[in-house]
Structure 1
Amino acid sequence: MKRAVTALVSALALIGCQTLTDPPLDQETVVETAPAVELVEAGQVNPDLNGGKIIALAHEAAGGETFVSPGSLFLSGHNTIYEKDGSSTVWDQYAMWRVFADEKSDAHVANGKVRIEGWSEGQLALLLSFDGEATYNQSGRMEDQSANAMWSNNFGFGAIRNALDFGWTQTRRSDRTIDGKPAYMVQLTDPESGKTLFGFDQSTMQILYVGFDTPRGWHERRYSDYFSKPGINWQQAGRVRLFYDGVMSNEAIWTDFQVGADYSDETFVIETVPVEPSF
C-alpha cells in the first residue's frame, strides 16, 4: 500500500512539472491499490464478527435466556468506597435487589425496581431504593423526584439485556485490551439515542467493561472474577470496579447471587429504617 501511494505521489509530481511544450503521455501505468479500510474496522480481529453477533455470543456465555430475562436478581457481598483524599471506607455487608422491566427504551433511566443496602460494622451506611415510580432513602420517599435523575449515574449495565430488542443498534468499535485481555468492543444505541460501550473477553465472551456518560462524568465499570453456582446457567462477576473520569470510586465484591426470586412491592418502598441487614 505504501509503495503504491509513493508511486502515485511521484507520478502526480512529475505531471505537475510538465510544461505546455511537453509531449503528452502516450501510455498510462495502472497502479494497483489495496481496498480501503473503514476506520471503524481498524484494529479489529475477526472483522466479519459484527456487533449483533458479538452481543448474541455474549448473551449465550452469560447464561442465555436466563441472563437476558432473569426476572429478578439479588447480589450480596461487600463494597469499598474510595475517597479523593486517599482514604477508604468498607461496607462489610452490601446487597442489591433488582426486579427487571420487560422493556427498556433508555439505558440510563431508572426502570423496574431496585434496592441497595450498605452496612459498616453493624451501622447502616446506605439505604436507597426505586419502586418503579419514586426514589426512597433512610428518610422515606424523596419528594423531590428529580432525585430519580441520579440513577443515571448507575443504570447502564442492563442495556446488554435489551441490546437485541427492536429499535436498538449494535456497532462494533476498535478492539481494546482490558485488564490484560483482548476485548471486542460494541457500542449500543438505545431507542432514545443513548449510547453505552461494552467490552467482551475475546476468548470467553464474558463482559469485561461498560462505559457511558453521566452527569458525574464518564463512568466505567470493569468486571472480573466470574463465578457460578450449581443448577443455574448464570455467570456472575465477583469483582466490579467503578470509575468516574478515570478515578476509581468504589469496588464491589459479590460473593453470592440469586436469580428469579419473587420480591414484594414493599421491599422497594422504604417506610421504616431497618435496624439490621435485610439479607
Structure 2
Amino acid sequence: MKMVYRIIKMVVLTAGAVISVYPLLFMLTTALQPSTLLFEYPPKLLPSQLTGANFAEAWTSQNFSIYMGNSVMVTAASFLLIFVLSSMLAFAYSRFRFAGKSLTFAMLMGALVIPGLTLVIPQFMLIRSLGLFDSYWGLITVYTASAIPFTTFLLKGFFDTITKEIDESVSIDCGGSFRLFLSVILPLSKPAFVPVTIFNALTIWEEFPWALTIINDPLKRTLPIALANFQGQYTTQWGIVFAGSLIALLPVILLFVFLQRYFIAGITAGAVKG
C-alpha cells in the first residue's frame, strides 16, 4: 500500500513539475529560435537551429536596458522604504500598548481586501496634487503604501513569536526600545524578511497598470512597459517578446534561488500568530 501511495505521489508531483516548467521551457526554446522557424508545423520542443539574436534585439530595442535600470532603482528604493516603515510599525504593534491599537491594526488589515485597481483614480489625484506625476517618486510612494499592510502583518506575526522575556533582559541591561528593535528583534527576524523580500520585489518588479498611468516620459518607464511595447498592433515578434520576458525574469529567479532555504521557514513562522 505504501508503494502504491509513493507511486501516485511521484506521478502527481512529476505532472505538477512538468506543467510548471513547460511554459518556461517553451519561452526559452521560442526565444532561441530564428523568426522563420517560430510557426513551423508540427511545432518542435527542441529547435533545430539556435540563435541569440532575439536576446540581443530585445536588450537593445525599445529602451529595454534603460527600463530595466529604472525597474531596479524603483524596486530597490521601494523595498528599502517598505522594510524600514513596516518593520517599525510591526514592532510597535507587537511590543507596545497604546490607545486605538486594535482599531488601527484592524483598519490596516482592512486595506488588504481592497483591490488595487479600484484605487488608481484616487491615487492618481493624490500623486498629481503632490507634484509627483511623471516621476519615480510617484511610483515609489504608491508601491510603498500598497505593500505596508501585508508586510506589517507578516512581520508582526513573526515578532509575536519572539519571547518577551528578551525585552526584560534588554531593559535590565539599560537598553531601550530602540536597542531592542535593532539589536535583538531584527537579527532574530531574518527568516521573516525573506518572504517579505520575495513577495514585495516580485510585485513591484512586474507591476504594470500604475506605471503605465503615472509615467509619461519614455525614459522613466519601467520594465513591464518595455515588454508591452514589443507587441505590435498587427504583428508581434514573439521570439523578441519571450527573450525580453526571460531577461526580466532572471533577477527574480536568482533572488528566489539565493533565498529559497529561508522562504518556507519564514512563511510558517510568520503565520503562527497574527
TM range (shorter): under 0.3
Structure of higher CA gyration radius: 1
Q: Which has the higher relative contact order, 1 or 2, with Cα contacts under 8 A spaced 6 or more apart?
A: 2
- Which structure dedicates a bigger proportion of its chain to strand? 1
Q: Normalised by the size of structure 1, how large is the TM-score?
A: 0.22
TM-score by length of 2: 0.23
